[in-house]
Amino acid sequence: MVDSMKHGERKRKALQLLAKLGDAHGAPGCEDAVRRIFRDELDENIRTDRTGNIICEKRGTRKHPRVMLAAHMDEVGFVVQNITRAGLIKFAPLGGWWPHTLLAQRVRIRTREGSEIIGVIGAKPPHFLGKGDREQVLELEKMFIDVGAKDEGEVRELFGIRLGDTIVPESAFTLMHNPEFLLCKAFDNRVGVALAIQVVEEMVDIPHPNTVCTVGTVQEEVGVRGAHTAAFSFNPDAAIILEGTPADDIPGIPEEERQGVLGKGVQIRLLDPSAIMNRRFTHYVLDLAQENNILHQVAVRKSGGTDARAIQLYGQGVPTIVLGVPARYIHTHNTIIQINDYLAALELVVILIQRLDKCTVEGFTVFDD
């Protein structure tokens, strides 16, 4: 465990980063605002690749191994699909949404000029619905966004909204009544981005026997697209994926089945349908967490996927692990995390990077026994 002064410092920085990142617009393919924060925070040795991944490479005491820290910058959002003559906006999803969570919610549409227009997701009110309709989940195709405009002309000319403009939830970052709990629209995956930034900032003063490449990836929510080119751009020997993963500590899920519980520490994901994590690497990380008394929980997931899907299969293969901060209600307007889980993840990654030398990393891919 880190001492309390260090803990306090880390927490302050984390809250500042999470607030800034949480409010930023980062629909898939339009991650500019998140990328800008990443760049402003890290400043030196920053480059982007041709899909928009942002990459910060930092050499430690050795050139090899090349360790990649990846966090996707995008969040689930929407895109303007059409504008009706009455000035209502039809929209299509970017990433996985459950329509139940959407009605009457506020959203922000980002125009080409960079202004953010507030709208609300509308649909027929209950007064005009038959009994059958009321009992169903309304399809996304039947919803629209109302930006409060007279007609189509006003939406296009005065507001500057065009087809293809991206849309994200409008939901301000909030400290809850118990300030250990945080609320925002996109902890999936601004927790990962904040962690990545904070790790690099801490590594400035800490020697590490490797080259660390921290990447903010694009378009994860639409099929881990940025992760493919990110792996190519860095050519990693090992990869650590940082994620805001779905919490399951809610009514309806039996206690003994829960593997993502708020307050139970960093989540070490062993497997999901998109990736079986390198066994030696996960065992190594589990032992490390144990030795250092870092609060952690283990998850074997029957659904979901992360950037690990692409990165583990790059080149001859890359030993990969996924470290998560459990977040309740991801892929909605309001997600909740517990700051201590974030801080446990931070502590684990900082220690891990100091340990990943050539011999250790090569050991993850010895299969001749």
Question: Active-site residues: which are they?
Answer: 220
Q: 189 vs 210, which CB is nearer to Zn ion?
A: 189
Least separation in angstroms between residue 65's CB and Zn ion is: 25
Q: 37 vs 89, which CB is nearer to Zn ion?
A: 37
Least separation in angstroms between residue 177's CB and Zn ion is: 27
Least separation in angstroms between residue 298's CB and Zn ion is: 19
Q: 145 vs 195, which CB is nearer to Zn ion?
A: 195
Residues 6+ apart with CB under 8 A from 251: none
Least separation in angstroms between residue 125's CB and Zn ion is: 34
Residue 74 found at the interface with Zn ion (CB under 5 A) = no
Q: Counting Cβ atoms within 10 Å, is residue 300 exposed (0-12), middle (13-18) or buried (19+)? A: exposed
**What is the C-alpha to C-alpha distance for residues 9 and 57, in angstroms, rounded to an integer?**
24
Q: How do 144-146 and 166-169 pair as beta strands?
A: unpaired
314 Ramachandran zone, left/alpha/beta (phi>0; psi -120 to 50): beta
Contact track, Zn ion, 254-293, x by CB under 5 A: ----------------------------------------
What is the token pair recorded at 202?
């801490």
CA atoms within 13 A on the CB side of 287: 7
Question: Interaction with Zn ion in 296-325: which residues (CB under 5 A)?
Answer: none
**What is the C-alpha to C-alpha distance for residues 215 and 249, in angstroms, rounded to an integer?**
30
Q: 79 vs 222, which CB is nearer to Zn ion?
A: 222
Q: 237 vs 307, which CB is nearer to Zn ion?
A: 307
Q: 189 vs 233, which CB is nearer to Zn ion?
A: 189
Contact track, Zn ion, 24-53, x by CB under 5 A: ------------------------------
Least separation in angstroms between residue 331's CB and Zn ion is: 9
Count of residues engaged in binding Zn ion, rule: CB under 5 A: 2
Contact track, Zn ion, 133-172, x by CB under 5 A: ----------------------------------------
Question: Interaction with Zn ion in 177-216: which residues (CB under 5 A)?
Answer: 188-189
CA 212 to chain centre: 20
Q: 53 vs 210, which CB is nearer to Zn ion?
A: 53
Least separation in angstroms between residue 244's CB and Zn ion is: 6
Least separation in angstroms between residue 256's CB and Zn ion is: 26
Q: What is the contact surface with Zn ion in residues (CB under 5 A)? A: 188-189
